[in-house]
């Protein structure tokens, strides 16, 4: 890196060195080459365009999807003495900004994609030199991505009309498919892709099937005295959990617990957030909106009470733990009903986005179901080639046993079929075990060939098998929670595929491990 660049790094930004891939990205951009930088949140993406913007002649045009985000960046840049402005629907100083731009007095100009692609904006750009384009949250250009913004597709003609100005696309979240799409859509050469390391070695990942969720979370919270975040799936869920966790013992009597969601009055939300940031032992029960943009490096654990939206989302949300580099934990609780609901939602979205959504759900399925290293699965998702084991996730620390559950799966599928595809797992289990309760005898299910065909040592497998079958589309649920055969059932019933099942460690073991930490 040249001395003038290091001087800008030091004098304008106050940093003594680049971090991670920042120097690679900045060097490439300074050399005038198109670049896609994939860097996790907190890795310092802004510097990658702000520094060249200061060092290069002309103005850097930054395309960003959210006004709030733009204004945050703008405030931060202005505070560093960088000459920056934005043109958005809420800015009153358009004339002044345009004048400053024309006079060559801007280093950074922030705009939304729909504005950037307009005729008027392109005319404006013809009036003064441009140094480069930065496309923030670049995954928005991909239909495959989780946050598709059609306006991003309109940027290409603008970029192409400045062929000798480098374009820098930035994102924290891009699986292999989305990356390809960004490169193609924004016209960036493949060798222009720079990926920062995604590993967070101090975070211990663990995944558990839900089985008495309140007690499960309560156990975790009791074992972890530090500040933590519990992500619930609904607003009501955050308040309910907060109420239940507040009954747990804590250092000064009871454990401090608060809730946070977008439906609360702003002043309450604000107060709860501030209290959490200042606290050394508070548990925040929140929806996933909580944590974005807040700076609390000593969060010791992040718990998901249900399935996140995607691996990217999970990585980002769990990544709010342990930013100080000290040991931290990420726990994910899931149930087959999470997957059923996620699949149901697929039917409600635009057809062209369904494939991406399906891939996201099956990637989550692989994460929760695996008996091998969780970290390896996460990192592979982000295109890295991690070692097979990490030594710091539930499966590496306590390798689960796996059993061939094909026969139990066939018995369960038969029972679903013979009872008419409308009963829940409780009834099916009673039938398979040969229990003669009222419901079983009234329906005549004690006379079926599947009555009592499950051996005692197989009983514990029934629920995990049901979960695994739901995940594989071999079972489906109706609107009342009754189980039906799914498209994947046939292959299992015909013994064409095996079902090997990872058994979660016994509860007693889990407790012992918790107290070892």
Residues that bind ligand ADP (CB under 6 A): 15, 18-19, 22, 39, 41-47
Q: Hey, which bits of 144-282 come out as E strands?
A: 167-171, 193-195, 203-209, 228-231, 249-250, 253-254, 257-260
Q: Which is nearer to ligand ADP, 257 or 288 (CB)?
A: 288
109 within 8 A of 31, measured Cβ to Cβ? no
Rounding to the nearest 10 degrees, give the CA dihedral for residues 512, 514, 515, 517. Answer: 130
In angstroms, give the least distance from the CB of 40 to ligand ADP: 7
Task: State which of positions 358-397 bind Zn ion (CB under 5 A).
Answer: 373, 375, 390, 393, 396
Residue 228 DSSP one-character state: E
Q: Which is nearer to ligand ADP, 37 or 220 (CB)?
A: 37
Residue 75: other Cβ atoms inside 10 A: 10
Q: Which is nearer to ligand ADP, 42 or 383 (CB)?
A: 42
46 binds, options ligand ADP, Zn ion, none, Cβ within 5 to 8 A by partner type? ligand ADP
41 binds, options ligand ADP, Zn ion, none, Cβ within 5 to 8 A by partner type? ligand ADP
342 binds, options ligand ADP, Zn ion, none, Cβ within 5 to 8 A by partner type? none
318 within 8 A of 367, measured Cβ to Cβ? no
Structure tokens given for 166: 């480098």
158 within 8 A of 111, measured Cβ to Cβ? no
97 binds, options Zn ion, ligand ADP, none, Cβ within 5 to 8 A by partner type? none
Residue 205 DSSP one-character state: E
As a whole number of angstroms, the distance between CA 39 and CA 36 comes to 10
Q: What is the length of the chain?
A: 517
Q: Which is nearer to ligand ADP, 38 or 432 (CB)?
A: 38
364 binds, options ligand ADP, Zn ion, none, Cβ within 5 to 8 A by partner type? none
Q: Which is nearer to Zn ion, 390 or 475 (CB)?
A: 390
Q: What DSSP assignment string belongs to 252-305?
A: TEEPPEEEE-TTS-HHHHHHHHHHHHH-SS-EEEE-TTTTTT---TT--EEEES
Q: Which is nearer to Zn ion, 112 or 378 (CB)?
A: 378
As a whole number of angstroms, the distance between CA 208 and CA 333 comes to 5
Q: Quick one: which of 3, 1, 43 has its CA closest to 21?
A: 43
Q: Which is nearer to ligand ADP, 75 or 512 (CB)?
A: 75
In angstroms, give the least distance from the CB of 43 to ligand ADP: 5
117 binds, options ligand ADP, Zn ion, none, Cβ within 5 to 8 A by partner type? none
Q: Which is nearer to ligand ADP, 45 or 255 (CB)?
A: 45
- CA–CA distances in Å: residue 2 to residues 24, 30, 31, 232: 12, 10, 12, 48
Number of residues that bind Zn ion (CB under 5 A): 5
**Distinct helix (H) and strand (E) counts, the chain:** 23, 19
Residue 155 φ/ψ, nearest 5 degrees: -75, -25
In angstroms, give the least distance from the CB of 234 to ligand ADP: 27
In angstroms, give the least distance from the CB of 16 to ligand ADP: 7
In angstroms, give the least distance from the CB of 394 to Zn ion: 8
In angstroms, give the least distance from the CB of 397 to Zn ion: 8
In angstroms, give the least distance from the CB of 15 to ligand ADP: 4
Q: Kind and range of the H or E element at 46?
A: helix 45-55
In angstroms, give the least distance from the CB of 200 to Zn ion: 12
In angstroms, give the least distance from the CB of 105 to ligand ADP: 24
Give the residue nearest to ligand ADP (CB): 44
As a whole number of angstroms, the distance between CA 104 and CA 124 comes to 12
Q: Which is nearer to Zn ion, 390 or 489 (CB)?
A: 390
399 binds, options ligand ADP, Zn ion, none, Cβ within 5 to 8 A by partner type? none
Beta strands 328-334 and 301-304 are parallel
Contact residues toward Zn ion (CB under 5 A) are 373, 375, 390, 393, 396
């Amino acid at each position: 890196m040249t001395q003038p660049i290091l001087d800008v790094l030091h004098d304008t930004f106050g940093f003594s060195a680049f971090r991670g891939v920042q120097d690679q990205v900045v060097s490439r951009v300074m050399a005038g080459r198109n670049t896609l930088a994939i860097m996790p949140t907190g890795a310092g993406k802004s510097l990658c365009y702000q520094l060249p913007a200061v060092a290069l002649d002309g103005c850097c045009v930054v395309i960003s999807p959210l006004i709030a985000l733009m204004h945050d960046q703008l405030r931060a840049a202005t505070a560093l003495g960088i000459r920056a402005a934005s043109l958005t629907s809420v800015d009153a100083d358009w004339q002044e900004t345009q004048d400053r731009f024309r006079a060559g007095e801007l280093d950074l100009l922030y705009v939304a994609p729909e504005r950037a692609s307009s005729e008027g904006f392109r005319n404006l750009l013809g009036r003064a030199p441009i140094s480069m384009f930065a496309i923030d949250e670049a995954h928005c250009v991909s239909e495959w991505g989780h946050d598709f913004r059609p306006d991003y597709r309109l940027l290409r003609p603008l970029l192409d009309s400045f062929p000798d100005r480098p374009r820098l696309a930035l994102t924290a979240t891009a699986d292999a498919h989305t990356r390809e799409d960004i490169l193609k859509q924004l016209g960036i050469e493949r060798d222009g892709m720079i990926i920062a390391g995604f590993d967070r070695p101090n975070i211990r990942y663990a995944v558990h099937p839900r089985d008495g969720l309140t007690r499960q979370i309560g156990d975790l919270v009791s074992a972890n005295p530090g500040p933590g975040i519990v992500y619930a799936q609904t607003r009501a869920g955050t308040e309910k959990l907060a109420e239940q966790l507040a009954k747990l013992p804590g250092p000064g009597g009871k454990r401090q617990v608060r809730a946070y969601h977008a439906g609360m009055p702003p002043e309450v939300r604000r107060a709860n957030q501030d209290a959490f940031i200042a606290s050394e032992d508070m548990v925040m029960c929140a929806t996933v909106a909580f944590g974005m943009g807040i700076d609390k490096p000593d969060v010791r654990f992040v718990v998901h009470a249900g399935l996140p939206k995607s691996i990217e989302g999970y990585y980002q949300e769990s990544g709010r733990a342990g930013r100080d580099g000290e040991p931290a934990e990420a726990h994910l609780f899931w149930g087959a009903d999470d997957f059923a609901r996620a699949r149901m939602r697929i039917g409600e979205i635009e057809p062209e986005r369904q494939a991406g959504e399906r891939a996201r759900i099956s990637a989550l399925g692989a994460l929760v179901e695996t008996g091998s290293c969780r970290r390896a699965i996460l990192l592979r998702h982000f295109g890295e080639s991690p070692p097979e084991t990490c030594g710091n996730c539930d499966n590496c620390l306590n390798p689960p046993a796996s059993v061939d559950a094909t026969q139990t799966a066939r018995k369960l599928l038969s029972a679903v079929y013979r009872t008419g595809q409308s009963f829940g797992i409780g009834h099916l289990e009673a039938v398979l075990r040969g229990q003669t309760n009222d419901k079983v005898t009234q329906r005549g299910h004690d006379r079926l060939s599947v009555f009592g065909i499950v051996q005692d040592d197989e009983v514990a497998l029934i629920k995990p098998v049901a979960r695994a079958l739901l995940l594989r589309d071999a079972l489906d649920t109706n609107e009342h929670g009754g189980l039906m055969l799914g498209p994947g059932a046939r292959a299992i019933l015909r013994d064409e595929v095996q079902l090997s099942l990872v058994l979660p460690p016994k509860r007693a073991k889990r407790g012992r491990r918790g107290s070892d930490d």
